[in-house]
Chains A and B, each alone.
Chain A
Amino acid sequence: MVTVLEYKPSREGLGEALLEIADQYPQLVAIGADTANSTSLGKFAKKYPERFVNVGIAEQNAVGIAVGLSLVGKLPVVSTYAMFLAGRCWEEIRQSVCYNYSNVKLVGTHAGLTVGPDGASHQILEDIALMRVLPNMSVIVPSDANEAKVAVKKSLEKVGAVYIRLSREKLPVFTSPEEDFVIGKAKLLREGSDCGIISCGVMVYESLVAAEILEKQGINCRVINMHTVKPIDTEAIINTAKKCKCIVTCEEHQVYGGLGSAVAEVVIKNYPVPQRFVGIKDKFGESGPAEGLMLKYGLKAQHIVETVKEVIKYK
């Protein structure tokens, strides 16, 4: 059984990380857009009021200001809902963050279907694709609150733009806070040679559950936590393709342009094997509890199980 340590929203990793690391980075400045409490920056804002900027409901300005801050030596972390950061500010991020080679960290919370009852207007399912295509941008999709916390800390060590995608809902925490985390280096969670499952974000847990179900049916899967979608760990993908001869990718995101596409780009060039995509199939989400939505839109372990069985036929 996958051990669940607790249930917690991954966005809380952001606030915890910044509080722990603030004294180590005197230049660190956090920027919110009327959403600091929801993104988990509330405590940081209270403890370090002179290092927290609330721009109001003005996301584009938040991004521009972050770039200006970084160009004069500050270390800005902008956080608001992923929809309004990666979505609304895409061009600002391209022109001002990336094209300026600025050292800005962007943390989009409330990403994906699991934001739940707020519905499709808030459920960004396109941000991995939007951020991944930008030169100078790294994209990290942590799988739980512990990993989110390390990812935020590691992103501050890295010079350059980073987008981190976090969730709103309380979700299983199953990685250890001590686990090694290297940006761009995937984690091998489970060995197996019948099928490779490569996942990010909330889908990593579902993949582990799926692998357990499959094991009972005699199918052994190699499960990879691809927390960094860019720069992607090419070696881990190639090794998986060679070993398993088929791959299923899983993401809480459109199947177009996200993790699945990133993996396919590597597979097709280096070691072509059949691949299937678990993700949202060109649709908007809707209101409902996270679990119910994952079930309806095909993001639960059982869907991964079906997809693995399907792709194996094409080996």
Chain B
Amino acid sequence: MEKENIRYSELERLCKEFRKTILKIITEAGSGHPGGSLSVVEILTTLYYLHLNHNPKNPFDDKRDRVVLSKGHSCPALYVILAELGYFDKQELHNLRKVNSILQGHPARVYNGGDEVKFVPGIEVSTGSLGYGLSVAVGMALGFKMDNKQNLVFAICSDGEHQEGSIWEAIMFAGFKQLDNLIEIVDYNKLQQESRIDDSVSLEPLKEKYISFNWQVYEVDGHKISELDTALADAKKYKGKPKVIIAHTVKGKGVSFMENNVDWHGKAPSKELLEQALKELEGK
């Protein structure tokens, strides 16, 4: 138990660093989506550091689990973690959203801005248009089942994209086909681009929806690594159904003026506000 606590506090420290880097690179890029990147930090960190079967030194290894970041606009969080894990040079983070960079504004599996086609290490699926990632993850899970392979597929979806019909096509299919090698994590930060979800079209009751679509549901505090860890550990073992972890999060988590504020969905902070945010994060 004690060992676990030390591990968790190490990861918490990493999450703090990730948040700082996310804000720095978004500021440097001059655009991007801080809110949904900050809310997904613990989700991705727990997944990549404690549960994912992967090898950053051999990113295209057949045996690896697959991660689909369906909420593609949150890719700064993913990029920062991939860089820390050694998928690519950390220097590349400073090229986010710039010409000639493999780090596109929304994740691209293949970079083809030049003459050469480059597969981007760690990016399994190009996303950015909401509502598509889950179907692709379902196809991957189905493919692994067909070939009797043990790989797992993780899909990270936003709450807002549950307003897309295509998501429900994927949910219905996965539940019916009992794809238990699929684990979805919903970053339920309650906000979308312009409003609270509940002020546009509510997803509630979300848990009951998933249950009625034949999914196994977990509900956790999406900023508590211990809770995410426990849920992921159980979800990996649970057989017979696809699993969803509804992770309750705070959009803009960690920076007071960004938290729960739709204004910080999709814009970069000024240099001054970045300093303020970094100071705040440092103090935590």
A: which residues have CB within 8 A of B? 29, 50-51, 53, 55-56, 58, 60-61, 63-74, 76, 91-92, 95-96, 99-101
Contacts and interface: CB of A to CB of B under 8 A. Distances in A.
B278 interface: no
A101 to B, nearest CB: 5
A96 B143 contact: no
Nearest to A101: B110
A56 B117 CA distance: 35
A100 B137 CA distance: 13
A71 B124 contact: yes
A58 B138 CA distance: 13
Given A51-B146, A60-B165, A72-B66, 7 more contacts: A58-B173, A64-B136, A65-B170, A68-B137, A71-B66, A71-B143, A92-B135
Contact of A65 (B117, B127, B142): B142
B43 to A, nearest CB: 21
Contact of A100 (B125, B142, B153): B125
B132 A92 contact: yes
A66 B128 CA distance: 18
Interface centre among B109, B139, B146 (most CB of A within 10 A): B139
A65 B173 contact: yes
A65 B139 contact: yes
Nearest to B182: A68
Interface in B126-159: 126-129, 132, 134-144, 146-147, 149, 151, 153
5 contacts: A60-B135, A68-B141, A72-B151, A76-B139, A100-B110
Contact of A64 (B110, B117, B139, B144): B139
Contacts of B246: none
Contacts of B261: none
Interface residues of B, number: 36
Contacts, number: 109
A64 B140 contact: no
A99 B112 CA distance: 10
B178 interface: no
Contacts of B127: 95
A100 B109 contact: yes
B108 interface: yes
Nearest to A55: B173
B125 to A, nearest CB: 6
B142 A64 contact: no
A61 B137 contact: no
Interface centre among A60, A69, A72 (most CB of B within 10 A): A72
Contacts of B153: 68
A106 to B, nearest CB: 14
A65 B146 contact: no
Contacts of B141: 68
A71 B140 contact: yes
Contacts of A100: 109-110, 125-126, 136
A61 B142 contact: no
B166 interface: yes
Given A58-B173, A101-B110, A73 B147 contact: yes
Contact of A69 (B66, B143, B165, B169): B143
Interface string B101-112: 000000011101
Interface in B177-228: none
Given A69-B142, A100-B109, A101-B110, A56 B173 contact: yes
Contact of B135 (A53, A56, A68): A68
Nearest to B139: A68
A68 B142 contact: yes
Contact of A29 (B62, B137, B140, B146): B146
Given A71-B125, A92-B166, A100-B126, A65 B110 contact: no
Contacts of B110: 99-101
Contacts of B139: 64-72, 76
A61 B144 contact: no
B169 A74 contact: no
Contacts of B173: 55-56, 58, 61, 65
Contacts of A53: 142
B201 to A, nearest CB: 19
A63 B166 CA distance: 11
A58 B170 CA distance: 9
Interface in B83-111: 108-110
B170 A64 contact: yes
A99 B138 contact: no
A95 B129 contact: yes
B142 to A, nearest CB: 6
Nearest to B170: A61
A58 to B, nearest CB: 4
A61 B136 CA distance: 8
Contacts of A66: 139
Contacts of B138: 61, 64-65, 68
B143 A64 contact: no
